[in-house]
Amino acid sequence: MTIRYDGKVALVTGAGGGLGRSHAIELAKRGAKVVVNDLGGSVSGEGANSQASLDVVAEIEALGGEAMAHGANVADLAQVEDMVAQTMDRWGRIDILVNNAGILRDKSFSKGSVEDFRLVADVHLMGTMHCTKACWDIMKEQEYGRIVVTSSSSGLYGNFGQTNYGAAKMGVVGMMNTLAQEGAKYNVKINALAPTAGTRMTEGLIEEKAFALLTPETVTPAVLFLVAEDAPTRTILAAGAGSFAVAKIVETEGMWLPEADQTPEGIAANWSQISEGGERALQAGFEQSIKMVGQAAKGLGLDLS
């Protein structure tokens, strides 16, 4: 079965180069009409230039596709709302949103400024929220939507010098977890991409031979899968160099401690059982509460039915 997006409208942020450009072009090749968003700033978020997004539009049109450019800064809600309004005026719907725009301001936590932290969070976390918020009710009313947030191994696992970036990238996962629940009855699915790619954001940080393998084109198939009609939802899909894996947040089974042991010393004494065994991925926050109350009831001999 060939996955296509005929009749669908896709909005890709940060699509003037790198991963976003690859996502936009491949979506267009498979039939989508594409909004190519890019502020055209530097890797650190300075400046603006619309030429990059216009060049990608020209590439898509040369392939026989339809596209439009918009230079919205995703950190500015008014600009994002204008982009969505122009998209609706032209095509009347938005089916796919790929939140890809991002910047880097890497420094160790001691050396990094509060201003840099706030700016990185504004672009990655608030920018993702702005774009998703602007499209959300449109997708609900259509009873169709496919959204990708871009996370990172730096958020999932940490990376030296990227406290700001990692915090924002984990934040979008928390956002995805809840929106997957809220969008389910409207056929709005949302997933997270955790890419590893050789782009201008990672140039000089990755060894040259590895960089050559980590092309944006080896990541884009993950996005195409995550925005397909039969896509999963609430999934973190890692991709890079043609390899793909699913990342999961799991919780151990844990244990209930009698009141006398509900102390830091009691936790320390039972740490092995608390920290290991029975790992599973919970599907919603309330499942943790149910588990813990159930363990307590069993330990106390209570019937909560």
> How many Cβ atoms are within 10 Å of 134's Cβ, its own excluded?
22
**198 — pLDDT class (breaks 50, 70, 90):** low
Using an 8 Å Cβ cutoff, are 201 and 102 in contact? yes
User: For residues 200 and 147, which has the higher predicted lDDT (pLDDT)?
Assistant: 147
Q: Write down the pLDDT at residue 42.
A: 59
Using an 8 Å Cβ cutoff, are 132 and 97 in contact? yes
Return mean pLDDT, the chain.
94
Q: Could you report the per-residue pLDDT of 13-59, keeping only the tens digit for each?
A: 999 999 999 999 999 999 999 999 999 865 655 656 679 999 999 99
Q: Write down the pLDDT at residue 48.
A: 61
Residue ranges of the alpha helices (H) in 70-198? Answer: 77-91, 114-121, 127-142, 153-156, 163-183
The mean pLDDT value for 221-249 works out to 97
For residue 190, the cross-strand partners are 147
Using an 8 Å Cβ cutoff, are 56 and 10 in contact? no
The mean pLDDT value for 182-206 works out to 83
Q: Is the pLDDT of residue 216 over 70?
A: yes
Q: Is the pLDDT of residue 210 over 60?
A: yes
Catalytic residue among 5, 144, 157, 165: 165
pTM greater than 0.75: yes
Which CATH topology does 9-247 take? Rossmann fold (3.40.50)
Q: Write down the pLDDT at residue 203.
A: 59
Contacts of 79 (CB under 8 A, 6+ apart): 72, 73
For the chain, the structural domain boundaries read: 9-247, 259-300
Q: Could you report the per-residue pLDDT of 249-275, keeping only the tens digit for each?
A: 999 999 999 999 999 999 999 999 999
Q: Could you report the per-residue pLDDT of 161-185, keeping only the tens digit for each?
A: 999 999 999 999 999 999 999 999 9
Q: Could you report the per-residue pLDDT of 105-164, keeping only the tens digit for each?
A: 999 999 999 999 999 999 999 999 999 999 999 999 999 999 999 999 999 999 999 999
Active site residue 165: yes
**212 — pLDDT class (breaks 50, 70, 90):** confident
**299 — pLDDT class (breaks 50, 70, 90):** very high
Sheet holding 33-37, edge to edge: 67-70, 33-37, 9-12, 96-99, 145-150, 188-195, 236-240, 243-247
Give the single-character DSSP code of 251.
B
Q: Write down the pLDDT at residue 40.
A: 80
Dump strand ranges (E) for the chain: 9-12, 33-37, 67-70, 96-99, 145-150, 188-195, 236-240, 243-247
C-alpha separations of 286 from 178, 282, 289, 299, 302 in Å = 12, 9, 5, 20, 20
User: For residues 214 and 174, which has the higher predicted lDDT (pLDDT)?
Assistant: 174
